[in-house]
Each structure stands twice: as C-alpha cells, then as structure tokens.
Amino acid sequence: MSSNEFSHKHYAHCESGVMSSILTHHGLPLSEPMVFGLSSALTFAYLPFVKLSGMPLIAYRSMPKSIIKGVQRALGVKMKVETFSKPEQGTKRLDSLLADGKIVGAQTSVFWLPYFPEEMRFHFNAHNLVVVGKEDNTYTISDPVFEHLVSSDETALQKARFVKGVMAPKGALYYPTYVPSSVDYPEIIRKSIKKTAKSMLKTPVPIAGLKGMYFLAKHIRALENKDEHYAKLFLGHIIRMQEEIGTGGAGFRYIYASFLQESAALIHNQALEKASKDMTAIGDEWREFALLIAKAIRPRNKQPIDYSVIASKLESIAGQEQKLYQSLLRAF
C-alpha cells in the first residue's frame, strides 16, 4: 500500500500505539488508552531475581506482547503472528505482505533502528512498530514513538528484527486476520477493569500488584544497611525503570486515567469519571516519588539519604492505588 493511505499518529508507548494504529486502520477506531485499558495491561511487579544490568526488574505494565494478546482476548480480534529461523525468510515474507497491500506489525531491537538518535539507542528487543510500505530498498515505518513516518534500509531493519539476546524478536511479524465491526463496550470495559483491579488487589504472590509495591518499599528501607554506592545505584535504577524504560510508572497511570475517562463517557458511568481523576493524581504521586529519589541521590546532596521517607512515599502510593481499585470493583 502507499504510505499516503495510512494515517500515522504519535503515541506514548510502542505496543499500545501499534495496536491502536492497526485496529483503527482496519476499521475499528480505538485510542491508545482504550487499547491499553481493554488489554488489562496496567500492573506493578518487583522481581529481584530477574536482573537488568545487575539490578532487579521493576515493571509498571504487563509483559511485552501481553497488550497484543490482551486486545485479541477482549475484543475477539484475530492476529496472525509469524516468526522465522532465517533472516532472509523474514525479509522475503515482509516484502510479500507489503506487496499484498497489508500493513504489518513487527518486533525489533531499538539499538539497530537507524532513525533512532544514537543517545536514544539501547538494547531493548521488544520494540514494536508498523511497516507500511517499501520502495526500492527502503521501508516506510510508522514508529509510534516518533512524530512522523520514518524509514529504514532493508539491511538495518533485518538486523533489528533478528537480533539475538533476551526477548529476541526472531523476525516476528503480525497482522489481523479478523477485526470485529463493532464492540460491546459496556461488557468489555466492565470485564477488563475488574480484571485489572483484582490482579492489583488480590495477587497471591508477594512480588506483584500492591504486595509488590510494599515489597519494594521494604527493600528500600533495608538499603540503610547496604553499601552507600550500591544503595544509590539501586535508587537510581528505580527512577530509570519508572521514567525512562517504556513509559514508566507515572506514564502508564496517566494512560489508564485516560482510558477510565473515555470509558466513563462511552458507558455513562460517573464512578469511572471520578476514578480517572484519582488515577491522574496517583500518576502525579509517582512523579513526586521519582523526584524525591533524584534529590536524595544527586551528588550535591550532602545530607544522609533518608530511606524511610522514600519507602513511606511508595507505601502511601500503594494505599492510594488500593482505594482506587476497590472503588473500581464497586463501580459496576
């Protein structure tokens, strides 16, 4: 297809942005917040046993690919996902799909995408984008985190699609084979909100949901007995996981707040309107939490770090989220 037939938009997050683009293009207009909310992607997890550069994984949304799968489950969308053992096969298949006029979702590594500025490149292998066309040796790409359509030569995109390592994409391509023409919003919104609220309130494991927040707060308090250099690295890692990797803690809360606001209007539910305002305020609290840490670990700060104040802030946020999820369960 011609890239002129595809409407590119800038989104907050790659996976929800790609699904919004693909479904809207296929006649089911869904905003990014609606995609994020209906896929029940909002979460919290603190996994000390999973390391990123030697530090524990802290997640504010469900695992990569879960938004793509969650939207399918919630809406009855059917997606075809293909992976390849050989790069040449993957490139040939992509070109064939584009020649048939399809737009194609693809999983890639940020590091090898040539249109990313060098300072923004890092080894993250689950970045999603939409390939909308190819002319000669150059692909036209709708990357959700960029303002305009971008392009990549064949060699670079192939490298980005077939990089090795954690979450190796294996050339993953995906496109819809069935998109419903209409959606039962009252029922689907109710189900997805209840699923999110229950997963945050009632998880059986101590590393996820609200329990995960309290678990991280406990570990922050324990930093008082650790080497100060390690403690500062750990706290800096919390900020990086929250504000720099993906959309982070506050960003995902703001997206979910937009979902609640949109849902309130769609199904005429005032409780969701109030919950949207409360979630926005919680997003602000997450930003304050990051700022509190940043001030504590900055080189100019000569005061000893008060780990208890930082932990208490996180526990306060967990308490606010608990009230919010309880109110969401009562909203229906």
The pLDDT of residue 248 is 60
Amino acid identity for residue 279 in this structure? M
Whole-angstrom Cα distance, residue 102 to residue 262? 29
Whole-angstrom Cα distance, residue 2 to residue 17? 20
Taken in order 259, 262, 267, 273, is the CA torsion positive or negative? positive
Distances (CA, A) of 21 to 110, 119, 143, 277: 19, 27, 10, 26
Whole-angstrom Cα distance, residue 74 to residue 39? 7
3-state SS assignment for residue 60: strand
CATH, range 3-30+78-178: 3.90.70
Whole-angstrom Cα distance, residue 47 to residue 45? 6
Tokens 């009252």, residue located: 186
Q: Where are the domains of the chain?
A: 3-30+78-178, 185-330
User: Where would I find the H helices in 26-123?
Assistant: 32-38, 66-75, 87-99
Whole-angstrom Cα distance, residue 123 to residue 241? 14
Return phi, psi of residue 229, to 5°.
Answer: -60, -45
Amino acid identity for residue 266 in this structure? L
Q: In tens digits, what is the pLDDT along the chain, a chain of 332 residues? A: 545 589 999 998 899 999 999 999 999 999 999 999 999 999 999 999 888 778 888 888 888 889 999 999 999 999 999 999 999 999 999 999 999 999 999 999 989 999 998 877 777 888 999 999 999 999 999 999 899 999 999 999 999 999 998 889 999 999 999 999 889 999 999 999 999 999 999 988 999 999 999 999 999 999 999 999 999 999 998 988 877 655 566 789 999 999 999 999 999 999 999 999 999 999 999 999 999 999 999 888 778 999 999 999 999 999 999 999 999 999 98
Whole-angstrom Cα distance, residue 75 to residue 188? 7
The helix (H) or strand (E) run that includes residue 267 is helix 248-267
How much of the chain is in helix, strand and coil states, percent to nearest 5? 55, 15, 30
How is residue 206 annotated by DSSP?
T
